[in-house]
């Protein structure tokens, strides 16, 4: 019998088991009410980078609460936000010079879209077409659903969504089709921006594409005066092997969105970074050119303090070495599945590994998804496949023993499925 009044996200309450209560977190683990330690193999929806309750970040939060709570971020500013903006500009791709704060990945993308349209509007040459990539996912607000893949996620809300131009995903051997499609759209002179997840599409199935494609998409955008928005909400903060995925393509986007790992996963915070040209297009004695966007908790000082501490962790601790180690360990574990007929498209981008279990009917609503989740849950593993797509995205502190346990469970689950016992 259901007793909770909570409506949980991405949960069909008529089908799901009772929620387990988490009473604590530590490192790469959640601890439930019975004292069981659960390996958080997806970093609690991709936000936890260094591990749960990293001491440097937790101490920064405690210290900030002695001085701050929320402060209106218009007419007034505060040190955590100012220092964080400087620190982010230092480590961001070259050319990004301004930081706009918001609360989540979805809002960071909404901000980016408004910046792009406002830029052309304020220059007196409006452009309104937004290009996106097939299978993309950018959030669950109306704007971000509009620029994401259409389907079960947003079918009920279709009347509210605006139209965008979709590029075909650059499948291996068909990358030129994607580039040609973007070139043709840009040639119209109407494209304001390409919004893209660099190197890896997250909720769209952990689909990866080469850095060379991203680099060429940026060159096409530049030739036609269109902007490139990099949605690094998931790919940022080391997930793809570099601090930001754009680095691997050698590009600087015009606008970059980041959240999730910004505070090490400790508190919600997001930023949208942009070039001076975009900021300057909104800089005017004409108040109508103001960038009209905010939220009640913009630049929360405690969240900014957590993000500043995260920057210190990156500077003071061997984070990149941990990322390199995790990347190599994934590679070694994945090698056991090379040529395995139970799987398709075994792939890895930095600290993220994914493989598709061969099933009669795939996709997000594949019936194997809930069965796999239940199987992993019984083995003390937090792994939530995207339908038949099994992926691992653990915190960088995960031990090889725990990582190996996750891969053993994937192997066992596949064997049980083939045998008709899962």
For all residues of the chain together, what is the average pLDDT? 97
pLDDT score for 24: 98
Give the residue from 261, 226, 232, 237 showing the smallest Cα distance to 47: 261
> pLDDT tens across 168-181, in order?
999 999 999 999 99
Would you say the pTM of this structure is higher than 0.85?
yes
CA distances, 124 to each of 51, 121, 228, 290 (Å): 48, 5, 20, 14
> How many CB atoms are closer than 10 A to CB 55?
11
| Neighbouring residues of 158: CB distance < 8 A, sequence distance ≥ 6 | 150
HSE-up (13 A, CA, CB side) for residue 196 = 33
| Long-range pairs, 379-382, Cβ under 8 A, ≥24 | 379/405, 379/409, 380/36, 380/37, 380/38, 380/39, 381/38, 381/39, 381/41, 381/405, 381/406, 381/409, 382/30, 382/38, 382/39, 382/40, 382/41, 382/42, 382/44
pLDDT score for 1: 56
> pLDDT tens across 184-227, in order?
999 999 999 999 999 999 999 999 999 999 999 999 999 999 99
Q: Say how far apart CA 39 and CA 379 lie, in whole Å.
A: 9
Q: Say how far apart CA 195 and CA 147 lie, in whole Å.
A: 8
pLDDT score for 418: 96
Q: Say how far apart CA 95 and CA 91 lie, in whole Å.
A: 11
Q: 411 phi and psi, to 5 degrees?
A: -60, -45
> pLDDT tens across 343-363, in order?
999 999 999 999 999 999 888
> pLDDT tens across 377-412, in order?
999 999 999 999 999 999 999 999 999 999 999 999
> pLDDT tens across 41-85, in order?
999 999 999 999 999 999 999 999 999 999 999 999 999 999 999
**What average pLDDT does this structure show over 332-339?**
97
Assess contact for 286 and 263: CB atoms under 8 A.
no
Place of tokens 């108040």: 287
Q: Say how far apart CA 412 and CA 402 lie, in whole Å.
A: 15
Q: Say how far apart CA 261 and CA 50 lie, in whole Å.
A: 9
pLDDT score for 153: 87
Higher confidence at residue 230 or residue 16?
Answer: 230
Strands 191-196 and 129-133: parallel
Domains and CATH numbers, the chain: 57-316 (3.40.640.10), 320-418 (3.90.1150.10)
Q: Classify residue 5 as exposed, middle or buried by CB count within 10 Å of its CB (0-12, 13-18, 19+).
A: exposed
Q: Say how far apart CA 395 and CA 39 lie, in whole Å.
A: 10
Radius of gyration of the chain (CA): 22
Q: Is residue 2's pLDDT more than 80?
A: no
> How many CB atoms are closer than 10 A to CB 199?
26
pLDDT band at 285 (very low <50, low <70, confident <90, very high): very high
| Neighbouring residues of 54: CB distance < 8 A, sequence distance ≥ 6 | 264, 266, 313
List, as one string, the DSSP characters of 189-213.
Answer: T-EEEEEE-SSEETTTTSEE--HHH
Map residue 16 onto helix, strand or coil.
coil
Assess contact for 84 and 273: CB atoms under 8 A.
no
Map residue 161 onto helix, strand or coil.
coil
Q: Give the bridge partners for 100, in sequence order.
A: 272
């Amino acid at each position: 019998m259901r007793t909770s009044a909570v409506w949980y996200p991405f949960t069909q309450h008529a089908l799901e088991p009772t929620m387990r209560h988490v009473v604590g977190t530590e490192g790469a683990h959640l601890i439930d009410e019975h004292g069981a330690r659960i390996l958080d193999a997806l970093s609690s929806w991709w936000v936890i980078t260094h591990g749960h309750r990293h001491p440097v970040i937790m101490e920064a939060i405690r210290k900030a609460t002695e001085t701050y709570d929320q402060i209106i971020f218009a007419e007034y500013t505060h040190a955590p936000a100012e220092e964080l903006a400087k620190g982010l500009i230092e480590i961001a791709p070259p050319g990004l010079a301004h930081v706009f704060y918001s609360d989540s990945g979805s809002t960071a993308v909404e901000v980016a879209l408004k910046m792009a349209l406002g830029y052309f509007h304020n220059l007196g040459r409006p452009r309104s077409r937004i290009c996106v990539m097939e299978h993309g996912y950018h959030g669950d607000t109306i704007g971000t659903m509009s620029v994401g893949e259409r389907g079960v996620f947003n079918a009920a809300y279709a009347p509210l969504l605006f139209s965008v131009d979709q590029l075909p995903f650059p499948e291996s051997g068909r990358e030129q089709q994607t580039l040609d499609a973007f070139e043709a759209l840009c040639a119209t002179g109407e494209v304001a921006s390409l919004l893209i997840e660099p190197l890896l599409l997250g909720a769209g199935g952990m689909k990866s594409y080469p850095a060379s494609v991203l680099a060429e998409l940026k060159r096409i955008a530049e030739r036609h005066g269109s902007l490139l928005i990099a949605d690094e909400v998931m790919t940022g903060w080391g997930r793809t092997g570099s601090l930001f995925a754009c680095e691997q393509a050698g590009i600087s986007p015009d606008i970059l969105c980041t959240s999730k790992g910004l505070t090490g996963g400790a508190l919600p915070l997001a930023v949208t970074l942009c070039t001076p040209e975009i900021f300057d297009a909104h800089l005017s004695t004409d108040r109508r050119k103001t960038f009209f966007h905010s939220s009640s908790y913009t630049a929360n000082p405690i969240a900014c303090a957590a993000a500043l501490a995260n920057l210190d962790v990156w500077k003071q601790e061997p984070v990149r070495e941990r990322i390199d180690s995790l990347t190599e360990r994934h590679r070694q574990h994945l090698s056991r599945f090379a040529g395995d007929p139970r799987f398709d498209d075994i792939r890895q981008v930095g600290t993220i590994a994914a493989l598709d279990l061969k099933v009669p009917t795939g996709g997000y609503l594949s019936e194997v998804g809930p069965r796999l989740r239940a199987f992993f849950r019984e083995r003390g593993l937090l792994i939530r496949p995207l339908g038949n797509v099994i992926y691992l995205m653990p915190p960088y502190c995960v031990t090889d023993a725990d990582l190996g346990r996750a891969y053993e469970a994937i192997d066992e689950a596949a064997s049980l499925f083939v045998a008709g016992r899962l």
